[in-house]
Chain A
C-alpha cells in the first residue's frame, strides 16, 4: 500500500524552545522542523521567538536572523532572496511557498510553522532531497530537439508562437507545486508531477521543436501523466502564479486529439 501516514522514523517530536531575551513589542513564534542526520534519530519541532521590530519582513529574513543570532546549525536553502532562484521553497503554515516572498505580516496571528517541502527525504532541517525531481526533469529532455540544420544565427519564431511559451517558461523549478500534489506524494516514483509536466508542456508547445510526437508518446502513460486528477493543489501553490494543472489538461487534450 502507499503509505498515507508517516513512517515511524519520520514522526515529528516536540523540540526545544529558544526564548527571546529582553523586551520586544512584536514577538512572533516560529515552529521549525529540525532534523540532523548526524545527531537525531527522529525529527523534532523547535520553537524560536523572534522580535519582528528587529528583523526583515519576510520569512526568509527570520530564518537568516535565527541562523546569525540564535542557532547557526539551522539548515536552509536560499540564494536570490527575491523569488527567482527557487531555492527557499518550503511549507509555510501548511502551504508551500517561497520563504523570501512570504510576508510574515500576511500570515495569521499565532505561531508560524515551517517544514520542508512535503513528502521528500529530509537531508537536514528545511532541506529536502530533490534528486528524484531532477532525474525526472532530465527524463523529459528539456531542450530543443529540431530536425532542421543548425541555422547561421538564431532559430526564428513568430511572435504569436513565442507567446505560447508564456506561462511555461517562467517556472523557476522551486517544486512548490510538485510537493503539494497528493498524487505526487503517493506515486511520485512514476508520476512526473506538475512541475516536470509543465516543463514537458513547454517543449510540446514550442514551435521550433520537431519531436512533439515522440514527446507525447513518452507521456502517454497512466502513471507519468494521467495520475493528475486535477486536484489543483499545484496551481494554488505556485509562487510565480503559473498554472501547471492547466498545462497538464492541455497535454491530455493534445494526446486525445491525435487519437
Chain B
C-alpha cells in the first residue's frame, strides 16, 4: 500500500479524535446498504468496474450495458460529502486525473483506495475449478475409508513377514488390485490436500507452481513404481 493511501485513512479516521472513531464502520455499512439498494442489477463479475450508483431507471437485466455505466463509476461517495456527480457524464477519467493532481483530497483518495481494493477482490475472475477439485477430494476420502482400514491392518501384519510370505501375499490378484487402488486413490487424495496446503502458505505464484509440479511428479513416480512392482510380482 502506498504512503498516500495510508495517509488518507489517517486523515479521515484519526482526525476526528475518539468521539468520531466509531462512525467509520457503521457509516460505511450504511453506505453499502444504500449502494445496494440504488444499484440496478447488472454488471456481472468479469466486466463491471464499479457497481454502485446506477440511475434508478436503469433496467435490471441487460448485462452488456456496463459500458454505459462507466460514466457513473467515479461517484462513489464514500465520505458522504457532495459526491453526487452522476450527471457529469464521462467524468470517470477526469476523476482519476484529479486524484493524481490533488493527492491530499481525502474523499477522492478513499474512493481510489476503495476501487483499488474492489478490483483486487475481483482479480482475474473466478478460477471455476473449486467445485471439481473439492468433489474429487470428498470422493477419494470416501473410497479411502475401507481401503485404508484394510491396508493399515495388512501392513502392520506384514512388516514382520519373510520374503516368501510377502511375495505370496502380494501375488494374489485381488490383493494386488486393492493395493494398486489404494495407492492411486491415496496419492490423488494426498496431492489435492498437499496442494491446498501449499496454496494456503506459499504466496509466490512461481514458487507455488513449482512445488505443485514437483508434488504431482513425485506422486506419478510413486504410483508407477508400485504398480510396476505389483505387475512384476503377479506375473513373475
Contacts and interface: CB of A to CB of B under 8 A. Distances in A.
Q: Do chains A and B make direct contact within the complex (CB under 8 angstroms)?
A: yes
Interface of A: 1-2, 4, 36-38, 67, 72-79, 85-88, 123-124, 127, 129-132, 134-139, 141-147, 150, 173, 183, 186-187, 189-190, 192, 211, 214, 217-227, 229, 252, 255-256, 259
- Of A74, A123, A259, the most chain B CB neighbours within 10 A belong to A123
Interface in B155-211: 196, 199-203
25 contacts: A1-B203, A37-B6, A75-B14, A77-B21, A77-B22, A77-B24, A79-B25, A85-B26, A87-B26, A88-B22, A124-B14, A127-B24, A129-B9, A136-B121, A138-B118, A145-B41, A145-B60, A147-B61, A173-B29, A183-B200, A214-B44, A220-B130, A222-B129, A222-B196, A255-B134
B98 interface: no
A125 B140 CA distance: 47
Interface of B: 6, 9-10, 13-14, 17-18, 21-26, 28-29, 32, 35-37, 39, 41, 43-45, 51-52, 60-61, 113-114, 117-118, 120-123, 125-135, 138, 196, 199-203
- Of B17, B36, B45, B130, the most chain A CB neighbours within 10 A belong to B130
A182 to B, nearest CB: 9
Contacts of B35: 138
B23 A255 contact: no
Contacts of A127: 13, 21, 24
Q: Is the interface of B mostly helix, strand, loop or mixed?
A: helix
Given A141-B51, A219-B126, A37 B14 contact: yes
A1 B201 contact: yes
Contacts of A256: 131, 134-135, 138
Given A77-B21, A132-B117, A135-B121, A220 B14 contact: no
B121 A226 contact: no
Contacts of A255: 130-131, 134
A138 B49 CA distance: 11
B130 A189 contact: no
Given A2-B203, A87-B22, A186-B200, A138 B126 contact: no
B129 A220 contact: yes
Nearest to B5: A131
B41 A218 contact: no
Contact of B113 (A78, A85, A131): A131
A190 to B, nearest CB: 7
Nearest to A174: B25
Contacts of A217: 45, 126, 128
A190 B60 contact: no
A142 B44 CA distance: 12
A222 B133 CA distance: 8
A167 B122 CA distance: 26
B130 A224 contact: yes
Contacts of A74: 18
B10 A37 contact: yes
Contacts of A87: 22, 25-26
A256 to B, nearest CB: 5
A219 B121 contact: no
A227 B13 contact: no
Given A146-B41, A186-B200, A78 B22 contact: yes
Nearest to A183: B200
A218 B45 contact: yes
A130 B28 contact: yes
Contacts of A187: 199-200
A138 B60 CA distance: 17
Contacts of A85: 25-26, 29
Given A86-B29, A87-B26, A138-B118, A186 B130 contact: no
Contact of A211 (B24, B39, B41, B125): B41
